[in-house]
Structure 1
């Protein structure tokens, strides 16, 4: 269910895909379509899927359903989507969102007769509209694991057990391997991995101090790039926006810098983000280092430009 969640732990804040508000409808921006990462072999994908399934099963009987509260410590509270966001995050894969409609635009389409472990399946109970209101993860043998509702909580269901799974089926998306780093990792992968590793650790402020992991937003970006051999040469936001070459939204790649303004139409940037691939962005701001998705209306409306700096 797409609801506004009450944050009960720090991990809640850094995992959400909106700024506390769930948009009423999807307004996708143009970005490069997700493509299967051929450099990730099938064994690596299967191993990651097994980890996800193991984590999901370990929460059976320990978590209860809530579409208003997300609690990532025992006793856990999840909606169907935040449950999946949590188990992916625990296994080093960032979905960047707890909204089913945003999740449904990640990864790549997969036919129902070609499902594999780790695929996400989307369902819609409403008779109007096109947005999904339920999501589950495929675990093999025609079964899914999902946070079903307040009566069942986390369950494993056979897709042939109820008409619901056929009548209300919308689509399936394969987010493995598109959300995983390349193998071998690219420079963009390494920058993104470094930035992700600082979520919950780096502190945002007015000075840059690498020993205490205290940064200004642009200082954080500079640190993530410099750690991977890319010297941006400035921590001034306007100067940073003049670096590198301009990249269209349709051609974004991991490690590109994306700039946003605070007033629509303004030519003055107020925010910089690192593109993490598959519509995800890593944003350093006064709240810390955040993971978001570009589908959110705010980022679509305040998008200025993107730059490739290596």
Structure 2
């Protein structure tokens, strides 16, 4: 479900490794991080989907439903959307949102008779509004895994087992390989990956200190691009907004810089983000390095411009 408050500090605790279960315990264990789309073909997508399914299944019986509390450590608490956000990010694929209405705008549309493992499935039972209110992940054989409700928690359901699944089905979206890196990786892919790799390592501060990985927001951006072979030459926010070529929102590509104001209509930037593709933003701010989607009202309303700097 999408109507609840998610604290940024909790979102930052999510890692990028796949999840296994230690035999004889109720605790998931961290294992080697999943490789991001090394081949960009059907085999790579299938392998990634299997990792997602394994992680989801490992949480069955270990997690409880909550539409108000998100807890990505034991004892786990998820809504239907945060459950999927968690298992995707644990396997190196960032949905960057816990809102079903934003998830349904990611990836590409797929018909119900062409579903593949890893596809997102959306349902709507409420009689008012147009937004979906439930999401699950297809795991093959006409089944999905999902955080169902407070009575069932995480379950695997056959899509024909209940009228709910047949009568309230809305759509399906294929996010693999859309949210994965291309092969060979583009310059934009490398920039985005470097930003993700630093996400939980750096501290956003008032000064820049590379040795201790402490940066201002534009300092972090400059550092990420430098590591990716692009020299911005400035850690000043206004100066960064004057770099490169202006691109429209409709033509954004991975690695573009996106600028936002704090006062609607102002041309003075107060926030810079790295565009990660498919509506996603990597944002350094006072809470750390977070990921969100450009679809959020705030970013729509405070958008100034975007620049392509490489």
TM over 0.5: yes
Report how many residues are paired: 287
Unaligned stretches of 5+ residues in structure 2: 15-36
1:286 matched to 2:263? The reply is: no
Q: CA RMSD in A?
A: 1.4
Distance in 2, matches of 1:258 and 1:174, equals: 26
Distance in 2, matches of 1:65 and 1:13, equals: 20
Distance in 2, matches of 1:54 and 1:14, equals: 20
> Deviation of residue 10 (structure 1)?
3.9
- Structure 1 range deviating more: 83-92 or 205-214: 205-214
Distance in 1, matches of 2:251 and 2:11, equals: 30
Distance in 2, matches of 1:200 and 1:11, equals: 12
> Deviation of residue 267 (structure 1)?
1.3
Report what 2:295 is aligned to.
295
Distance in 2, matches of 1:46 and 1:115, equals: 12
Distance in 2, matches of 1:42 and 1:176, equals: 10
Deviations 1:146-204 (A, max 9, x none): 00000000000000101111100000000000000001111100100011111121101
Counterparts of 1:205-284 in structure 2 under 5 Å?
205-284=205-284
Is the CA contact (8 Å cut-off) linking 2:12 and 2:200 kept in structure 1? Answer: no
> Deviation of residue 11 (structure 1)?
4.0
Distance in 2, matches of 1:14 and 1:154, equals: 21
Distance in 1, matches of 2:154 and 2:179, equals: 24
Is the CA contact (8 Å cut-off) linking 1:132 and 1:170 kept in structure 2? Answer: yes
Distance in 1, matches of 2:54 and 2:201, equals: 27
Report what 1:144 is aligned to.
144
Is the CA contact (8 Å cut-off) linking 2:9 and 2:287 kept in structure 1? Answer: no
> Deviation of residue 6 (structure 1)?
5.3
> Deviation of residue 3 (structure 1)?
2.3
Distance in 2, matches of 1:6 and 1:50, equals: 28
1:63 matched to 2:63? The reply is: yes
Distance in 1, matches of 2:293 and 2:154, equals: 26
Deviations 1:235-293 (A, max 9, x none): 11111111000000000000000000100111111111000000000010111101000
Counterparts of 1:81-160 in structure 2 under 5 Å?
81-160=81-160
Distance in 2, matches of 1:136 and 1:6, equals: 19
Report what 1:12 is aligned to.
11
How high is the TM-score relative to the length of structure 2? Answer: 0.90
Is the CA contact (8 Å cut-off) linking 2:120 and 2:136 kept in structure 1? Answer: yes
Report what 1:161 is aligned to.
161
